[in-house]
Amino acid sequence: MPWIEPADFSRSMLLVKLIVLLLLGFVIVSLFSGLYFLVKDKGQTNRTVNALSVRIGLSIVAIVVVMIAGATGVIELNPSPLSAQGSRPAPTDTVIDGNQERSGGGRRPIVE
């Protein structure tokens, strides 16, 4: 990206990671506060529902932040395993010197 200097780019990536980590931390805090209210109030108040609603809202915000950061190129997303980019054909059985060799996707070949 020509308008973002490399130093600014790494700072923005670090900032996005920090924001996502903070959001996930708040999600965990909200989850445990909901558990606490569930045990303490025994279902008599709406504090459990409110805590879990906050957790859902924070989770949605975290997902949106990651999607926006991925779409703008601030963070690099892993390629989809279903895309044709960089995919290899499935391993097949081959015959070498009369022996059938089975490949196991990166493991040592088994020769019988």
* Paired residues of 94 in beta bridges: 101
pLDDT on residue 1: 46
Q: What is the pLDDT of residues 73-84, one digit of tens each?
A: 888 877 777 765
Mean pLDDT value across residues 58-80: 88
Of 17-26, 39-48, 57-66, 86-95, the range with the lowest mean pLDDT is: 86-95
> Are the beta carbons of 20 and 79 closer than 8 angstroms?
no
pLDDT tens string 30-51: 999 999 999 998 878 899 999 9
Look up tokens 């303490």; give the residue. 40
In contact, 12 and 4? CB cutoff 8 Å: yes
Mean of per-residue pLDDT scores for the chain = 78
Which residue in the block uniquely carries the two structure tokens 């190129």? 73
